[in-house]
Amino acid sequence: MDKILRQSLLYDFYGELLTEHQKSIYEDVVMNDLSYSEVARLNGISRQGIYDLIKRCDKILEEYESKLKLVEKFMKAKEKADMMKDKIAVLKEKNADKNMFSLIDELDSYTSELLDDF
Amino acid sequence: MDKILRQSLLYDFYGELLTEHQKSIYEDVVMNDLSYSEVARLNGISRQGIYDLIKRCDKILEEYESKLKLVEKFMKAKEKADMMKDKIAVLKEKNADKNMFSLIDELDSYTSELLDDF
């Protein structure tokens, strides 16, 4: 998995366990793609300070993942949901019964929304 | 939600963040339904000590939930998955096309398994 994608997923699941200060800087660097120098300037911290903070946050987030494995579990559920979307697409294609159209559509929507809460 | 059910769900999601000692006693009391006195005797701790430990663990687990809201999110996803199961049951009933039977069955299985990983 791409590093930024992994950092984003870890942050989505465990970000709330970081301090406000850590969150703010992690978001600027990882989610908003600002440069270390820019975030350093904006926060009145050295570039090295930002680098260390990001590294420390990565370590904290990875430690939570090693214990709770939420990203891993989420990716597996996402895979299953994607396979369901494929099956539903085939179902839509094969179905000739007008009474079943809306039912299949509803099922499709539910599948799309199912993991949105996470 | 029933207290034991909530404790079990919180423990499922965040139990790995407790110490081995806390986990062992929490499991005996909450999951294995042993009495405080029995767990106290087995661990050479006072009954009050067990009571305090469980209370402390409940607090730790609830604090994680207040930040990460995984039980809440899981319950919502579970609700959606249950509604999908209902739709699939109707689909099964309405469907007269033999070619679609196995497809609907597969969809049913996926829906059942989807949240098992969590």
A contacts of B73 (beta carbons < 8 Å)? 117-118
- A107–chain B nearest CA distance, Å: 6
Q: Residue B92: closest CA among chain A residues belongs to which residue?
A: A100
Minimal Cβ distance to B83: which of A13, A64, A110: A110
ipTM value, please give it: 0.85
First to last CA, chain A: 19
Identify whether the C-beta of residue B24 lies closer than 8 Å to the C-beta of residue B45.
no
Residue-by-residue pLDDT tens, chain A, 118 positions: 799 999 999 999 999 999 999 999 999 999 999 999 999 999 999 999 999 999 999 999 999 999 999 999 999 999 999 999 999 999 999 888 888 889 999 999 999 888 887 7
pLDDT at B7 over 90: yes
Q: Residue B13: closest CA among chain A residues belongs to which residue?
A: A68
Which stretches of chain B sit within 8 Å of chain A by CB?
A: 13-14, 16-17, 64, 67-68, 70, 73, 76-77, 80-81, 83-84, 87-88, 90-91, 94-97, 99-100, 103-104, 106-107, 110-111, 113-115, 117-118
pLDDT at B117 over 80: no
CA distance A57 to A22: 7
B contacts of A76 (beta carbons < 8 Å)? 117
Q: Residue A84: closest CA among chain B residues belongs to which residue?
A: B107
The pLDDT of residue A53 = 97
CA distance B118 to B110: 14
Q: Give the long-range contacts of residues B77-84, CB within 8 A, separation 24 or more.
A: B77/A114, B77/A115, B77/A117, B77/A118, B77/B115, B78/B115, B80/A110, B80/A113, B80/A114, B81/A114, B81/B111, B81/B114, B81/B115, B83/A110, B84/A107, B84/A110, B84/A111, B84/A114, B84/B111
pLDDT digits (tens, 9 = 90+) for B88-112: 999 999 888 888 889 999 999 999 8
Identify whether the C-beta of residue B115 lies closer than 8 Å to the C-beta of residue B74.
yes
The pLDDT of residue B15 = 97
- A93–chain B nearest CA distance, Å: 11
The pLDDT of residue A116 = 83
Which structure tokens are listed for B52?
Answer: 């305090």
Q: Residue A89: closest CA among chain B residues belongs to which residue?
A: B103
pLDDT digits (tens, 9 = 90+) for B21-30: 999 999 999 9
Minimal Cβ distance to A117: which of B73, B107, B113: B73
Higher pLDDT, A98 or B16: B16
